[in-house]
Amino acid sequence: MTTVAVVGTDTGVGKTVVTAGLTREFRDRGVDARAIKPAQTGHPPDDDAAFVADACGTDEAATCLRYLEEPLAPRIAAERAGDPLKYEPLLADCRRECDRAPVALLEGVGGLRVPLAGDREVIDLVADLAPVAVVVTRSGLGTLNHTALTVDALERRGVDVRGIVCNEYDGASVAERTNPGELERMTDRPVETVPPLRGSDPAALAEGVRDALPRSFSARLVEKA
């Protein structure tokens, strides 16, 4: 069994659509992959697990362990709802769900330093559960610093970053055209790009991600170290 963390440099960078694309890719290859969302804030309308399930055409493709209404960091949203998150039970629940599938994709919540439960942050959960990760980032100006810091933080916690995805890449600016190569130089990690994807259909968006990423990318995520 393999757990792969799909983490972002920030909120709104495209973690969910990349998670959906990777989950769809594995399942299309006959691997019973499953996406795990530890906590979903801003629900409704936000529901990342439902997006992945719709993209894959089955509820078995994704699950979320805790839904919170306010669009805040999970720790804050849970406290304001009067039902604070406790880290150890959340960790145990995530581990149980990850163990149900040969490949589990643990989708982050915002960036790595987002408060999750008690004094623990998203990076603590990633480090406790996932030996490998893929980092999803924006493509334009400002992404070099955010991405390099995210990779450094993961590596310091013993998480092997197997790749970086620059999302919504169209090469419209000099920054975008040079960022993938510069990120590879700075992090010594392979960098792939996903173009802007139009529409709202989860299946079509996941297919767009799947088609943009070479098959070698998903294979690299589950290779033994």
In this prediction, residue 137 carries a pLDDT of 98
Q: What is the model's pTM? A: 0.97
For 42-70, the pLDDT digits (tens) are: 999 999 999 999 999 999 999 999 999 99
Residue 79 has pLDDT above 90, yes or no: yes
In this prediction, residue 148 carries a pLDDT of 98
Residue 91 has pLDDT above 80, yes or no: yes
Contact yes or no for 123/5 (Cβ under 8 A) = no
Residue 225 has pLDDT above 70, yes or no: no
Domain boundaries, the chain: 2-221
- Please state the rounded mean pLDDT for residues 122-128: 98
Gap between the Cα atoms of 21 and 43, Å rounded:
22
What is the CATH number that goes with domain 2-221?
Answer: 3.40.50.300
Gap between the Cα atoms of 21 and 217, Å rounded:
12
Which long-range contacts does 52-58 make (Cβ < 8 Å, 24+ apart)?
A: 52/16, 52/19, 52/20, 52/23, 52/107, 52/202, 52/206, 54/202, 54/203, 55/20, 55/21, 55/23, 55/24, 55/202, 55/203, 55/205, 55/206, 56/20, 56/23, 56/24, 56/27, 56/203, 56/206, 57/203
Mean of all residue pLDDT scores within the chain: 97
Of 15, 37, 86, 224, the active-site residue reads 37
Question: Quick check: is 37 catalytic?
Answer: yes
